């Protein structure tokens, strides 16, 4: 099966409208299902579960067949010790919550997230760490807690099957003026390299569609991929297929 997986990262009350716009944008291109990466309490600024509009949107998207993915818990490093400068500051802008989180805290946050999924009646399938940064040893913990998959920048890991698929995601960095053109050049080169692989991943953050050049490139990638016979799936559907 040739699959296109579109994941919409960093869902929280503040990103609701941006991600709603992304859903509409992709529907216009022929993509109907998404993996939505939900942060329960983004940057300690407000719980998703206490926001009526955010919860209504997530419930609608799950009914539509989307995969709601636990994406960290706070998505920041508040209260954590200084870590690797490259990974925690330069690469992830202090958002690498699970990069070096102590095992006990890691399990506690995962369980708190899983409790939200259980309470809301959402299907618990995936956990994806912010920035895809989490030690591989925690895969065993994720499997024990009932998660069926996780992903890294270059991998999809079916936890219950013990199977790893090599697949690098297209992903944009837009937080500074120089990163945006560099991201476009890099993703163009990367797509040329991966466009015949069995699974193509496209990972968006809330601000990505604000930039017209990036928006146009994303549309072109999706249109070419679907025209080449790829089927848009969620991570959950792909892992269980």
Q: Give residue limits of the domains in the chain.
A: 3-240
What's the pLDDT score for residue 236?
A: 97
User: Which stretches within the chain are classed as H helix?
Assistant: 16-29, 52-63, 103-120, 139-144, 179-194, 212-227, 235-240
The CB-side HSE value for 172 (13 A sphere, CA atoms) comes to 28
pLDDT tens, position by position, 131-169 = 999 999 999 999 999 999 999 999 999 999 999 999 999
What's the gap between Cα 45 and its chain centre?
20
- Could you say which DSSP state residue 159 is in? T
CATH for 3-240? 3.20.20.370
pLDDT bin (cut points 50, 70, 90) of residue 81 is confident
Residues 29-54: tens digit of each pLDDT: 999 999 999 999 999 999 999 999 99
> What's the average model confidence in pLDDT over 207-230?
98
- For the stretch 172-185, what's the b/e string if a residue is b when 16 or more beta carbons lie within 10 angstroms of its beta carbon? bebeeeeebeebbe
Average pLDDT, the chain: 95
- In this prediction, residue 85 has a pLDDT band, given cuts at 50, 70 and 90, of low
Give the confidence band of 88 by pLDDT, cuts at 50, 70, 90: confident
Contacts of 56-65 with C-beta under 8 Å, sequence gap 24+, read: 57/16, 57/19, 57/20, 58/11, 58/120, 58/122, 59/120, 61/23, 61/34, 61/36, 62/122, 62/123, 64/32, 64/33, 65/32, 65/33, 65/234
pLDDT, one tens digit per residue, over 97-114 is 999 999 999 999 999 999
């Amino acid at each position: 099966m040739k699959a296109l997986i579109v994941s919409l990262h960093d869902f929280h009350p503040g990103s609701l409208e941006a991600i709603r716009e992304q859903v509409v944008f992709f529907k216009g291109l022929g993509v109907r299902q998404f993996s939505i990466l939900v942060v329960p309490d983004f940057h300690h600024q407000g719980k998703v579960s206490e926001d009526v509009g955010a919860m209504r949107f997530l419930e609608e998207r799950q009914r539509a067949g989307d995969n709601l993915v636990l994406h960290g818990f706070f998505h920041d490093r508040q209260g954590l010790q200084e870590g690797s400068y490259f990974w925690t500051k330069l690469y992830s802008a202090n958002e690498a919550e699970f990069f070096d989180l102590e095992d006990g805290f890691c399990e506690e946050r995962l369980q708190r997230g899983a409790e939200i999924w259980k309470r809301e009646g959402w299907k618990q399938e995936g956990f994806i760490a912010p920035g895809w940064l989490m030690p591989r040893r925690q895969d065993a913990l994720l499997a024990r807690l009932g998660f069926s998959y996780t992903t890294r920048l270059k991998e999809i890991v079916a936890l219950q099957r013990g199977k790893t698929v090599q697949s690098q995601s297209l992903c944009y960095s837009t937080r500074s003026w120089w990163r945006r053109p560099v991201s476009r050049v890099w993703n163009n080169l990367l797509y040329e390299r991966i466009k015949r692989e069995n699974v193509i991943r496209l990972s968006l953050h809330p601000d990505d569609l604000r930039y017209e050049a990036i928006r146009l490139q994303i549309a072109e990638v999706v249109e070419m991929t679907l025209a080449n016979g790829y089927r848009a799936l969620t991570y959950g559907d792909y892992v269980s297929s």
